[in-house]
Amino acid sequence: MFLMSSIEEVIIIGSGPAGYTAGLYTGRAMLKPKLFAGFASGGQLMLTSDIENFPGYPEGIGGPEMMMELRAQAARFGCDIIDKNVDSIDTSSHPFKVNVGKDQFLTKSIIITTGAEAIWLDAGNEEKHKGQGISTCATCDGAFFRDKEVIVVGGGDSAMEEATFLTRFCSKVTIVNRREELRASQIMADRARGNDKIGWKLNRVVKEWVGEQGNFEGVVLVDTISGKEELFKCDGAFIAIGHKPMTNFLGDQIELDGHGYIVPKENTMTNVSGVFAAGDVVDTRYRQAITAAGMGCMAAIDAEKWLEEN
Ligand SMILES: Cc1cc2nc3c(=O)[nH]c(=O)nc-3n(C[C@H](O)[C@H](O)[C@H](O)COP(=O)(O)OP(=O)(O)OC[C@H]3O[C@@H](n4cnc5c(N)ncnc54)[C@H](O)[C@@H]3O)c2cc1C
């Protein structure tokens, strides 16, 4: 391991809206932040073509384009952005250690903004329809399916919530679930069952998606009891089978909930004093670019005040 001799004020891990906003704020506070952007820099929005709900872009903006602007804005104020993954951190002594390949960085504070990944199905032809027919975020993409027929895959609370929300735009929403029983709470399931725009395909799994790239046409479903296949035509699909927060690299040093999300203790501070977290890696509810950016700002201000006091 090659140890860096200087001690950083703050190291930010992750390069979505939360990370870049933390970089912007700590940069303007003259803390000379170092930001490890990861190999897939820019975060989840690099996968989406149209963002219509981030304030300041009345005509909407492409995801990659917006992330390049956030990155440039953080860099302008002295945020040192490095496109590498953090392999692990060591918070057992102060200054903390951040391990990146063969290099070890020392830092007084850390802001974790490593986000979460929506879990995809990995059904046939999925790659070519991601973001072009298949989405994992109804709040983000529902409005693109006005008066269209869509399916929602999943049987938990988020699938019920997404399906109910989508009925505001869509002419018909069909819930596809691998079992007869739903994992969703009674109240959420009842709400979906009582909605006459929602149809059901229970005991069905998705085998493959149908259509050419940019021209989504539907899905091949398999009946889990009879094994029979059917072609179900629709205009779009929403996968709502959960999210996976990117927290494996933290080991057991930072307190996580049962699903791997970081548990904030005081404002944005984690159970380790001097380690902060923001964005989808702590957020099981809102999961939006604007909320992630807002939390990135909060973590930066919390880190700045903590450094001043300690
Ligand atoms: C298809 C899609 C469309 C969406 N559309 C919208 C929309 O229209 N409007 C909206 O508001 N929201 C939208 N969202 C949600 C939005 O993308 C997220 O809420 C937001 O990106 C969360 O930001 P974040 O900074 O917390 O994390 P992320 O964007 O997830 O970024 C985290 C970053 O950290 C990096 N990272 C992870 N581990 C490490 C590590 N060990 N070391 C270094 N880096 C690491 C990752 O590679 C990633 O670049 C969409 C999401 C998806 C998937």
Residue 87 has pLDDT above 90, yes or no: yes
Q: Which residues line ligand 1 (CB under 6 A)?
A: 13-19, 36, 38, 40-45, 47-48, 51, 53-54, 85-86, 113-116, 118, 131, 135-137, 140, 246, 249, 279-281, 287-290, 292
Statement: residue 303 has pLDDT above 90: yes
Arch. (CATH architecture) of 120-239: 3-Layer(bba) Sandwich (3.50)
Q: Say whether 297 is catalytic.
A: no
Q: How far is the CA of 214 from the centre of ligand 1 (A)?
A: 23
Domains 2-117+243-309 and 120-239 share a fold: yes
Does residue 1 surpass a pLDDT of 80?
no
- pLDDT at position 58: 95
- Is residue 128 within 8 Å of 230, Cβ to Cβ? no
Q: What is the pLDDT of residue 37?
A: 98
User: What pLDDT score was predicted for residue 158?
Assistant: 87
Place 256 in a pLDDT band, splitting at 50, 70 and 90: very high
- pLDDT tens string 148-186: 999 999 999 889 999 999 999 999 999 999 999 999 999
pLDDT at 291 over 80: yes
Q: Whose CA is nearest to atom 9 of ligand 1?
A: 140
Q: What is the pLDDT of residue 47?
A: 74
The answer to whether residue 4 scores a pLDDT higher than 80 is no
Q: DSSP characters for the chain?
A: -EEEEEEEEEEEE--SHHHHHHHHHHHHTT---EEE--SSTTGGGGG-S-B-SSTT-TT-B-HHHHHHHHHHHHHHTT-EEE-----EEE-SSSSEEEEETTEEEEEEEEEE---EEEPP---BTHHHHBTTTEES-HHHHGGGGTT-EEEEE--SHHHHHHHHHHTTT-SEEEEEESSSS--S-HHHHHHHHT-TTEEEEESEEEEEEEEETTEEEEEEEEETTT--EEEEE-SEEEE-S-EEES-GGGTTSS-B-TTS-B--SBTTB-SSTTEEE-GGGT-SS---HHHHHHHHHHHHHHHHHHHHH-
* Average confidence score pLDDT of the chain: 95
Pick the CATH number of 2-117+243-309 from 3.30.70.141, 3.20.20.30, 3.30.40.10, 3.50.50.60: 3.50.50.60
- The pLDDT value recorded for residue 40 is 87
pLDDT at residue 65, as a whole number: 96
Q: Report CA(309)–ligand 1 centroid distance (Å).
A: 31
For the chain, domain boundaries? 2-117+243-309, 120-239
* Structure confidence by residue, pLDDT tens digits, 9-44: 999 999 999 999 999 999 999 999 999 999 889 999
State the pLDDT at residue 283: 95
Residue 5 confidence (pLDDT): 75
Tell me what pLDDT residue 3 has. Answer: 79
Note if 141 is an active site residue: yes
| pLDDT on residue 267 | 97
Comparing 46-50, 53-57, 103-107, 219-223, the range with the smallest average pLDDT is: 46-50
Q: How far is ligand 1, taken at its centre, from the CA of residue 26, in Å?
A: 20
Residue 213's pLDDT band (cuts 50, 70, 90): very high
Percent of the chain whose predicted confidence (pLDDT) is above 70? 100
Q: Is the pLDDT of residue 239 over 80?
A: yes
